[in-house]
Every structure is written in C-alpha cells, then in structure tokens.
Chain A
Amino acid sequence: MANTMDSPRTAVSNPPVQPMETNLTQRDLIRRSATSELPQPERQLTPVAKLIDVSKCIGCKACQSACVEWNDTNPAIGENVGVYTNPHDLSADMFTLMRFTEWVNPETDNLEWLIRKDGCMHCADPGCLKACPSPGAIVQYSNGIVDFVHENCIGCGYCVKGCPFNIPRISKTDHRAYKCTLCSDRVAVGQGPACAKACPTQAIVFGTKEDMKKHAEGRIADLKSRGYANAGLYDPPGVGGTHVMYVLHHNDKPHIYADLPDNPAISAVVQTWKGATKYAGLAVMGLAAAGTILHGLFAKANRVSKHEEQEAQEAVDHADKREEDA
C-alpha cells in the first residue's frame, strides 16, 4: 500500500518499513528557477500540505526542536530579551519559529496570546523562485513543495526580495539560502515533516492538501461554535494558495499574528524587475549592439582628411610666426 502511494497521507503514523524509492526527483519538477524550458513531468504527485491550527498550539516549541534535530542545524544560543520567541528570528539555522504575540481583543478586552509557527509557506506561485537568477537553485515539485538546491545557490539574496513572507535567510557561513523544506527528504520516502510528527497537540497536521482543507473545515466549525465568528483557513489566493496553511481564529485580520500578511502576493516591483525589465532590457541592449555593428559595417566612418591635417600644420606654423613677430 505504502509502496504505491506517491506521498504520505499523515505525519502521525510510523513510516512504511519496506524500502522505498525517493519519489521527489528531477522528473517531478514543475518549476525550476532561471530555467525556461523544463520538460513536462511524467506524472502528477498528489499535492500535500501542512496545516497549522493556531488555536491548538501551546507554544511548546517541540516543532522547532524537531526541525533543528532533523535538519541538523545548530542555531546559536541567544539572549532572553523578555519575549518567548526564541531565537529572535528565522535564520539559516532555524527554519521554523514560534512567534508569540500578546494581543488585546478590542471586542472582549481579553488578552489573547497568539502563537504562530512561522516558516516557508510553500506558495503555489513562489516569489523566491521567480526572483532566483541561478538555474536550478530553487525548484517546485508537483506535490507543491518548494525546495532550495544548495549546490546551485549563488547566495545573491534575490529569493529574500522575492518572498512575500520574509522567509529565506542567507547563511553567513556558506553564503547559501536556507528555509523550511517541508521535510522534502522525509516526504519523498513516505514520512511526514518532522515538526508535524513532533507536535504533541496535533496543532500541526500533514497530509494531502485536499484532506487538510477538509480537516480545517471541521476545526473552523468547532471554533465558530465557540464564538470565534471569523475563524477561517489561511490559504492566500494572491500566491496561488499555499502548501502550508493556517487555521486562524481571527482570519479576518491575519496581521495580528506577528505580521502575517493579509493579502500576500509577489511584489509588483519584483514582477516588473523579473518580467518586463529582464526581457525588454536584454532586447534593447541587443538592438543597440546590433545597430552599432550594422552602422559600423555600412555607414561611412568619420575620417580626418589630408586637408585637415594640412590645416593643422599651417595653424602651428602660423603660431610660430606670430611668436617670432612678438
């Protein structure tokens, strides 16, 4: 059964014990950075998603620990500055981060402690991939995972500018970009992401995108019945939907969750830079170069005549004469 399944359906169950072929390979790519002609994938993997139910999160950071352990990263020990968010930000060694917000609900005057697990959203329309200048440094698989291929990364940081969620970080050590992989190396062999596996309250669940949407519906109905009238699913259409989704109890104002964008989309500036500018710029430069070559071949050059050399000679002689007169 597990052998025939193209992607895991859950992070909770133990992984299949029989050896499994890695199923996220070059032939499963639907997008590849700075690559115009990518062959059509031979098959379509079932889209997967991670669903993060903010209302069930207890802020234990087991997901962070699991992430650090699985990815073998070593975030530096930081300093306590009086907030629970630790480390202070995502880094090249910390792909996911619980962001804690103390928010006073103006309607109830209650303090609400909002905890959002931040990390790559795995956009269907990834801004990082659009901005990346290096062929194959960022790829998107047909199951929706957006992954960084570090050996192709040149460390320019364009992905940082392309991302609508401020996720990628450039390592100061090896100058390559890092972010959550959605545990592509686990998913490829039938296992769910490490964070979802570690979550003690199942605030993080993983499965097919369809299943996750269904699961979210149940959660949202429950939250609504308990007075959260604006509870909803965060699957922003501006980036084509995401493969990491949130259940938010205040889905009408995502920004209260540590500045989660209300309507994320690839910036129009990035679109212009990577769209019209790239193509028109190359065309204009090419035309200018070709134009001058043609002009050089077919138009008459601007040459100095013998007569003008003569006139210069005379001018010098004339100046000498004046000198002698003086």
Chain B
Amino acid sequence: MSSLADNTSANVAAAKAGAEDTIRRGPPVEVVRYGIGKRINHWVTAISLILLLLSGLAMFHPSLFFLTDLFGGGQMTRWIHPWIGIVLFISFFILFAQLWKLNLPNRDDVKWASQIGDVLGGHEERLPELGKYNAGQKFIFWGMAALIIVLIATGIMAWEQYFGLLTSIPTQRVALLVHSLAAVAIILVFILHVYAAIWTRGTISAMTRGTVTGGWAWRHHRKWFKDMAGRGRIDPAE
C-alpha cells in the first residue's frame, strides 16, 4: 500500500511539473501529451521531411524541377538532399526510441482497424477504448520507420559524391527505383499523417503547445486518460 502511495506522490510531483502524460486540472481539463523534447524532435523531423520532399520531387519529375530554385539551384539541391536525409534519419530514430513501445500493436488495434468505417464516420463510441495511440497512428509510426530505413539505405547507394563506388551500377539502378517508390509511399503516409491531424480537430496543439483538451483525450484515447487519472497523474488543486 505504501509503495502505491509513493508512486502516487511521484505522479503528483510529475503532474505538478507539467510532465508528459499528466492531467492539468484546469478548468478546463487539459492533458500534457508531448514534452518539449519530443516536440522539438518531431518538428526537426517534420521540417527535414518537407525539405526532402521538395528537393526530392524536384529531381523526380521534370515538371517539378523548378523546386530546385528553393534550394539555390540544381547543384545545391543535389548536394543538400542527402544531408537533410541524414538529419531526418537521426532525428526520427531518436523519436522512434522513445515511442516504439507504445506503438506495439495489440488486440484493440485489430478491432479498430476492422471498424475503420466507424472511425471515419465519427462513431468512436462504437470502438474500443484506446491507449495513447490508435492503429492508424501506429501504422503511420511503423510505416515511417520502415520507409525511412529503406530510403536511407537506398539513398546512400545513390549518393554519387561519396558512395558512387560503394555498390555496382546495376545495384544503384535498383536502389534508385526503390528509393523513388519508397519516396512516393512516404509522401502518401505523410499526407495521411498531416490530414489525420487536421481532420481530428484538437490534435495539432499536442505538437505545438504539447497539450490536448481533456475531452480530446476522453474521446480518442480514453484508456490513456483513465490510466493517468487512475494513477493520480493530476496536478494538485490550487
């Protein structure tokens, strides 16, 4: 019993400090979803991905070659694209190390995915109560992780300046084909990610201010919310 009490007091202290996964009494009730570290990490990754998308598309289709002007011309675009890729890779996998456990699939995800119609129709009351992430978010997480690994591996093979002789030319041809297919795929995942965050109103503040409303957490991630409440991760009343 005393250990639980200790635990609770630690949780209260965390909540008082405004740590991640704690509830702010308010009113209105708010939940801290992401600490400052993860948010910076996320935005470094996001900005890198957007810059990679723009510079990559410039070299993908002639009709988009004008995008090289954003980077100071074709030579600069060619030079900077792989370096941004390195930044993205490191940044994403720092994030990955912190989030992968919570993104492991479970039984609820199968049910959630099988009732995707209810998700899109806004009938979340028909769905199981969820932890911090739903199956869609997990799909984006693992999809990004897998595609980033494919993109960095094939990207290095295609990085003429330093790795032009690392692999044979036939291998580099395959690498470039896979790189462009994976790039199309990650752009689709990216569109899904951005759109889901916009469509599900109240989500974006999780990555800007770090908080969501109590109602948002209650509606979309009730198990997560109840777990925080149950463990006393609520900042003490004034």
Q: Which residues of A contact B (CB under 8 A)?
A: 34-36, 133-135, 152-158, 160-161, 166, 170, 175, 267, 269-270, 272-273, 277-278, 281-282, 284-285, 288-289, 292, 295-296, 299-306, 308-313, 315-316, 318-320, 323
Report Cα–Cα, A40/B237, bound state, in Å.
79
Known: A285-B187, A285-B188. Is A309-B213 also a contact (CB below 8 A)?
A: yes
CB distance from B11 to the nearest CB of A (A): 11
CB distance from B9 to the nearest CB of A (A): 11
Report Cα–Cα, A33/B60, bound state, in Å.
13
Known: A170-B164, A281-B181, A284-B188. Is A316-B65 also a contact (CB below 8 A)?
A: no
Is the CB of B2 closer than 8 A to any CB of chain A?
Answer: no
Report Cα–Cα, A288/B77, bound state, in Å.
25
Among the listed A292, A310, A311, which residue makes an inter-chain contact with B191, where contact means beta carbons less than 8 Å apart? A292
Across chains A and B, the number of contacting residue pairs, with CB separation under 8 Å, is 168
Known: A170-B160, A284-B184, A309-B29. Is A158-B176 also a contact (CB below 8 A)?
A: yes
Among the listed A35, A281, A300, which residue makes an inter-chain contact with B180, where contact means beta carbons less than 8 Å apart? A281
CB distance from B137 to the nearest CB of A (A): 13
Among the listed B63, B74, B199, which residue makes an inter-chain contact with A295, where contact means beta carbons less than 8 Å apart? B199
CB distance from A295 to the nearest CB of B (A): 7
Interface residues on B, range: 35 or more
Contact B184 A304 (CB under 8 A): no
Report Cα–Cα, A11/B68, bound state, in Å.
42
CB distance from A280 to the nearest CB of B (A): 8
User: Beyond the given A133-B65, A300-B122, could you list 6 further A-B residue pairs with CB under 8 A, ordered by the A residue number?
Assistant: A154-B73, A267-B173, A270-B173, A292-B192, A315-B226, A319-B234
Contact B177 A277 (CB under 8 A): yes
Q: Which residues of B contact A (CB under 8 A)?
A: 8, 23, 25-29, 58-65, 68, 73-75, 77-79, 122, 158, 160-161, 164, 169-170, 172-174, 176-177, 180-181, 183-184, 187-188, 191-192, 194-195, 198-202, 213-219, 225-226, 229-230, 232, 234, 237
Most chain-B CB neighbours within 10 Å: which of A156, A277, A296? A156
